Amino acid sequence: MQPKQNELIVDLRQMILAIETAISLVGMNDTNHGKRVGYIACQIGKQLGFSDADIQYAFELGMLHDCGVSTNQMHANLVNYFDWNDAHIHCEIGYRILKNFEPLAKFAVPILYHHTPYPNLANHQLSIYDARMANLIFLSDRVDILSATHYKTDILLARNNILQTIIGQYNNTYFDPELVKTFEVVQRSEAFWIGLEDRHIVRYVWDMGLISNNQPLNLQQLKQLSLILSYIVDQKSPFTAQHSLRVANLASYLAHNYGFLENQCKKIEIAGLLHDLGKLHTPDPILEKPGPLDEVERSIMNQHSYETYEILRHIHGLEEIASWAAFHHECLNGGGYPFHPQERDLSTEARIIAVADVFQALVQDRPYRQGMALEQVLRVLDDQVRIGKLDKSIVDMAKQRADQCFAVAKGLDTSFDLNQQYQNLLTTNDS
């Protein structure tokens, strides 16, 4: 069935790739971990005789397995310790954010248990399928962690030591012996290890991305998934908690008052939710610095909106939303960053998100200042209009509804449907 005119339909596989791209940014110097885990799981699955459907499932599970990781410190602990005591935290977060999103709910349970040692899986009421997939991802994940320092240098020389570590220390205590035995067969091929190198793994995932998931997301589902992504971003620092949610709410409020039709308002809302995706690549200490950023820190911070663009622009159907989200620090006077578009290329939608972002950031507590009162916010907005940063018509509209905009930006207006969905993401797991 052909989509109706102006109806937005997005392929789920492309969104899964975007999620992995975003989450992998947390790794800072290693942005391919999820891709490699998906690849390893697929190679083991093929050797085991998995069906095509199960191979695709293993690939997507590998891509999504670390969706509960937001901070650099959590990522570092998962990399530096084979069995980190708090590894369960990101498993529980991943489970919680996916379990109620129907298109990805099937991955929630394996993600919850993907750091559970093989013998302990029997203590939980898991299906045989979920238990096997969880342990397959655990094995694939740890193989990649053991291999990480050898890529680009001596991976073919190190592979035997990696195998012996898995067999000698962790077989049967952490991993299903059948999976380990199968890995032992798969790893004999040099091609298996060479394929893990960055230049090859990116091509592998590109090829996998050409395979449609055959499960399109409608606008409402895309909005729900965007909320999940915004939650991941906003967990990176307590100073950005609910920032993306409130920017989205305020952008939606302004868009409705501007006169946009409902579907366009929803798209603007989605762009608001996704606008800071690139901040997953910003080091935690920069986000939480209790003072002005120096020149180097500012140059790093100024990269985040380009990262947002790169994550989103490859998704068919999200081209407009990608630019609206990525332009949230652009200015009418050609300043801002990172693209410096001309004023005529800054759409009304992008201008609305820019105003919503500034408004919300000003009222929110940050490590270097307390949130501002409404009068201060309006003065700053006027100043930014005067020097050519923000659109006067949109700022004037916000000023005309200043009290309501302030309530939305502060999270005092709970009438938006996103607020309840966000609260659902905060509930403890019920596994």
Half-sphere exposure of 323 (CA within 13 A, CB side): 12
Averaged pLDDT of the chain = 93
| 104 and 229, same domain (yes or no) | no
| 154 and 263, same domain (yes or no) | no
Is residue 418 assigned to a domain?
yes
Is residue 248 assigned to a domain?
yes
Given a cut of 70, the residues of the chain with pLDDT beneath it are: 1-7, 28, 428-431
Is residue 401 assigned to a domain?
yes
- Number of domains the chain is built from: 2
Determine the Cα–Cα distance for residues 279 and 301; give it in Å rounded to an integer: 8
| 200 and 235, same domain (yes or no) | no
- Beta-ladder partners of 257: none
Question: Hunting for tokens 């972002």 — which residue is that?
Answer: 357
Q: Which of 154, 179, 209 is the last residue of a domain?
A: 209
Determine the Cα–Cα distance for residues 265 and 248; give it in Å rounded to an integer: 10
Those residues with Cβ within 8 angstroms of residue 318's Cβ, 6 or more apart along the chain or in another chain: 10, 312
Catalytic residues: 279
The answer to whether residues 324 and 350 touch, using CB atoms and an 8 Å cutoff, is yes
- Give the per-residue pLDDT at 125: 93
Task: Give which of 90, 40, 94, 89 is closest to 62, Cα–Cα.
Answer: 40
| 157 and 231, same domain (yes or no) | no
Those residues with Cβ within 8 angstroms of residue 303's Cβ, 6 or more apart along the chain or in another chain: 278, 281, 282, 338
- Give the per-residue pLDDT at 211: 85
pLDDT in tens, 154-166: 999 999 999 999 9
- Give the per-residue pLDDT at 6: 53
pLDDT in tens, 351-384: 999 999 999 999 998 888 899 999 999 999 999 9
∠ CA 131-423-268, nearest 5°, is 105
The answer to whether residues 23 and 66 touch, using CB atoms and an 8 Å cutoff, is yes
User: 3-class secondary structure for 382-419?
Assistant: HHHHHCCCCCHHHHHHHHHCHHHHHHHHHCCCCCCHHH
Q: Which of 174, 209, 244 is the last residue of a domain?
A: 209
User: 3-class secondary structure for 58-112?
Assistant: HHHHHHHCCCCCCCHHHHHHHHHCCCCCCHHHHHHHHHHHHCCCHHHHHHHHHHH
Determine the Cα–Cα distance for residues 111 and 106; give it in Å rounded to an integer: 10
CATH of the domain at 399: 1.10.3210.10
